[in-house]
Structure 1
Amino acid sequence: MFTIRKLRISKYFLPSNSLLKHLSRNVDYLHQIDVNSTAKCDATLQNELDSSEKNCIIRKHHNNVPTIRSILENLNTPHLNQSEIQNLQRSLQQELHKLPNKTHPRLLDYGDDPRELARYNKETEFKFKPKEFSELASKANLLRMDHLGNFTGHKSYYLMGGAAEMEHALTQYFLTKLKSVGFRLISVPDILPKEVIEGCGMQTSGERTQVYKLNSGKCLSGTSEMALAGYFSNKIFDEEELPLRVTSVSRCYRAETSGLHEEKGMYRVHQFTKVEMFSVCAEEQSEEMLESFKNIEISLFDKLGIHFKLLDMPPSELGAPAYQKYDIESWMPGRQMWGEISSCSNCTDYQAKRLNIRYRTNNNEVKFAHTVNGTAGAIPRLLITLFENNQLEGGSIRVPNELQKYMNNLEEIKREKRLPELKLVKHIKSAK
């Protein structure tokens, strides 16, 4: 491992301190270094870089701390010209951007496995072998995913009849509940600058990126969390205004899908509808806000009558921005598997530092805000679990009581008449 010995702080390096303070989560110590105490500076630096490296490893995140060490060492090379210093500072900025958030101390001994905290509702009992969603919906003429590769692309779908109605019913159900507990509804754009997406913690480049990039340089949003966070960027709130709670329904675009058998059909697709919760809050409010989001999600799914479990996720499942995260998985009897239907995360000030979201305390101190996000409902996954758990032997699907009022009091979804199929033709001859 590369280590720094007798680190000296370049006079050219000092102006970047405020920048580092804004960008760094794990290395905030850089702006506090006493330049007149080289020994103390070196010890502080070593301890904090070691801590950052351990955090990367436990989260199974790309470990770029050795690169940061090397850049810091190069910054203290004698006789650097201004251009060389600026290039190194830009490189340091980029590497600091890549560091993950800190990890909640509660999670440090979890290993790679989540902790199951609770289960809700009983598993559905069947007197017949339950069908998987794709088979169930296709036979009822409610879903089409086949022969779409040349038309709308791989992993795309059409929903018809009762399935399309249930999609909209779920959206209305979530929004009605969220607005009743004080969430403000915002409609958001689907096309965003890459800086906003990267500021939220998702990379827009690399082999495994999930982001669709457009020729204009903009990107398709992977979740409305990104647009909501971008809406609050470069804003300063008074502490009395916080916490803010907003919700949005949008299409979400994901470039990468899975070939795993258990994720076939609509389980993992390139675009889908999702209802999102998002909060900007003061630093002492974020853990309580996360618990609030978790309890809202539990209440929403509990009323739908599905069998689900609450998981406290380990460090390796937090991604880059989350300090802690809860997942909710529902039992899907047709697939004979647990499938994730929701999650919520406390990102502390990770996103706020990158998007410059701040607040002024009652003592007139300006701090970076904390952000919390949560999925009220990812619609395709919920359709899967609702169809599979409410199917009847003849192929019909019971509509949960909570959704019936959003579906003209429909109690049961039955087979639809077959719609004419779309066919691709190479040439169309005009009538003479």
Structure 2
Amino acid sequence: MSLRCLLCFKKTMIRPSMSRNVQLGKLCSRIKLCSSQFRQFTSQSWEPVPDFDYLSDPKNYQTIESNIKSRKGTGSIELFMELLSKFNSSQSADKMELRKTLLAEALKIPNNSHPRLHAYGDTPHVVETPDLLHSRLIESCGMDTKSERTQVYKLEPKFYGDICLSGTAEMALASYFTGSAVPVSELPIKMAAVSRCYRAETSNVQEERGIYRVHQFTKVEMFGVTSGEAAASDALLEEFVAIQKELFSSLGLHYQLLDMPLHELGAPAYRKFDIEAWMPGRNMYGEISSASNCTDYQARRLNIQSIDSSDTRRFVHTVNGTACAVPRTLIALLETHQQSNGEVIIPAVLQPYLNGMERLRNPTQPFKMKWIKSKAQKNKTS
């Protein structure tokens, strides 16, 4: 039933003076009218209008061809240009048929792509990682699982063996390549994962209260594998940091980039950058992201190598970076954009995901909690 039919139905339902039979008769006649209008509308008295000026311009040929290939489209700009040439030179009676074929071919060509997307590469890798990992894999990535002050949660060995909860998707992504020989032609490999992270972290510092330091949170992690050249892994580290800066700048956050000193690198990192965002409610900069170049530290412990056309093998380099740690990003967002009246201005880049909402406003009605008696408790007392 069309929207107009629904409106007609609503109008008939609000006339209490009519009998049910009269209402039904009028409703059926209205539905017939709407159906005929719908058939008339879908007979396609109009036709699509492709952007022939753009498609026929030789300057755009390479861009369109590359776009079709990258997006795995079904159209062919070469075939379109051939048909266009035939159509322009044709004087025969089949010109109308040529026009239909030309129009159909033009409609197969996909829309243009945002220029920034071309920098992401042709083969993105988005992976779902497990929550449980063997302690050997975690330690191979540089995180201790045995000491008393470890941040790693361990399952009961009696029932599950030497299994731990994953602290970051980085460890699972690195483990994915364990014992593999990656062709040099496939490098660098860039991956991303959204995962739950579990960390045995506690703090008594007032500024780290609330959701700043928690035992379980969601995080988007970037991970890359490059050749064993320092220049290659350094370049990927710079790319990850550039992505982080672009993300946080688009959110309107005030942040600082720190090139971490030796005592802050930890065991696996060759170089590490931290990004700290200003959190007005806490009157402090708080870490919201980091990126590390681990060179061949993890690759040597997980036996990840590259192999070239002459079968020469070499340990690869691994790079990782946090794209978004949800709790701390929320803190920075809310505290940065909160206004004096309590409302929070939503950054422009997030508004499309919130149905165009521009502000988070205070609720018009207070939240009410409803208590429900437990049946289990009732059965227990009886």
Same fold (TM over 0.5): yes
TM-score (norm 1): 0.56
Residue aligning to 2:240 = 293
Residue aligning to 2:197 = 252
Residue aligning to 2:49 = none
Where relative contact order (Cα < 8 A, 6+ residues apart) is larger, the structure is: 1
1:393 aligns with 2:334: no
1:190 aligns with 2:128: no
**Deviating runs (4+, > 4 A) in structure 1?**
177-180, 421-427
Larger displacement relative to structure 2 (353-362 or 224-233): 353-362
The offset of 1:361, in angstroms, is 3.0
**Helix, strand or coil at the partner of 2:339:** coil
1:210 to 151, 157, 160: 151
Taking every aligned residue pair, what percent have the same amino acid on both sides? 53
Give me the whole-angstrom Cα distance separating, in 2, the residues matched to 1:280 and 1:379.
25
Give me the whole-angstrom Cα distance separating, in 2, the residues matched to 1:211 and 1:377.
21
Which protein shows a greater Rg? 2
Residue aligning to 2:40 = none
Tell me the C-alpha RMSD between the 2 structures.
Answer: 2.3
The offset of 1:179, in angstroms, is 10
> What do the CA deviations read for 1:13-57 (whole angstroms, capped 9, x no partner)?
xxxxxxxxxxxxxxxxxxxxxxxxxxxxxxxxxxxxxxxxxxxxx
Unaligned runs of 5+ in 2: 1-115
The offset of 1:363, in angstroms, is 4.2
Give me the whole-angstrom Cα distance separating, in 2, the residues matched to 1:374 and 1:307.
19
The offset of 1:308, in angstroms, is 0.6
1:243 to 179, 188, 198: 188
Is the contact between residue 178 and residue 247 of structure 1 (CA under 8 Å) also seen in structure 2?
Answer: no
Query: Structure 1 residues 424, 324: closer, same or farther in 2, change over 3 A?
Result: farther
**Helix, strand or coil at the partner of 1:339:** strand
1:264 to 209, 212, 219: 209
Give me the whole-angstrom Cα distance separating, in 2, the residues matched to 1:179 and 1:264.
41
The offset of 1:214, in angstroms, is 0.7
**Helix, strand or coil at the partner of 2:244:** helix
1:201 aligns with 2:142: yes
> What do the CA deviations read for 1:96-123 (whole angstroms, capped 9, x no partner)?
xxxxxxxxxxxxxxxxxxxxxxxxxxxx
Report the number of matched residues. Answer: 256
2:228 to 276, 283, 298: 283
> What do the CA deviations read for 1:171-197 (whole angstroms, capped 9, x no partner)?
xxxxxx999724411111111111111
1:418 aligns with 2:367: yes
Which residue identity lines up with residue 234 of structure 1 in the other structure?
A: G
The offset of 1:415, in angstroms, is 2.9
Unaligned runs of 5+ in 1: 1-176
Which residue identity lines up with residue 301 of structure 1 in the other structure?
A: F
Residue aligning to 2:14 = none
Residue aligning to 1:310 = 257
Give me the whole-angstrom Cα distance separating, in 2, the residues matched to 1:357 and 1:403.
38
Query: Structure 1 residues 178, 246: closer, same or farther in 2, change over 3 A?
Result: farther
Which residue identity lines up with residue 187 of structure 1 in the other structure?
A: E
TM-score (norm 2): 0.64
Is the contact between residue 209 and residue 256 of structure 1 (CA under 8 Å) also seen in structure 2?
Answer: no
Which residue identity lines up with residue 393 of structure 1 in the other structure?
A: S
> What do the CA deviations read for 1:70-91 (whole angstroms, capped 9, x no partner)?
xxxxxxxxxxxxxxxxxxxxxx
The offset of 1:200, in angstroms, is 0.6
1:356 aligns with 2:303: yes
Which residue identity lines up with residue 222 of structure 2 in the other structure?
A: M
Which residue identity lines up with residue 407 of structure 1 in the other structure?
A: L
Give me the whole-angstrom Cα distance separating, in 2, the residues matched to 1:250 and 1:421.
33
Residue aligning to 1:428 = 377
Structure 1 or 2: more helix by fraction: 2
**Helix, strand or coil at the partner of 1:195:** helix
Give me the whole-angstrom Cα distance separating, in 2, the residues matched to 1:303 and 1:331.
15
The offset of 1:294, in angstroms, is 0.8
Query: Structure 1 residues 184, 425: closer, same or farther in 2, change over 3 A?
Result: same
Alignment of 1:102-117 (within 5 A): none
> What do the CA deviations read for 1:264-310 (whole angstroms, capped 9, x no partner)?
11110001111000001102211111111111111111111111111
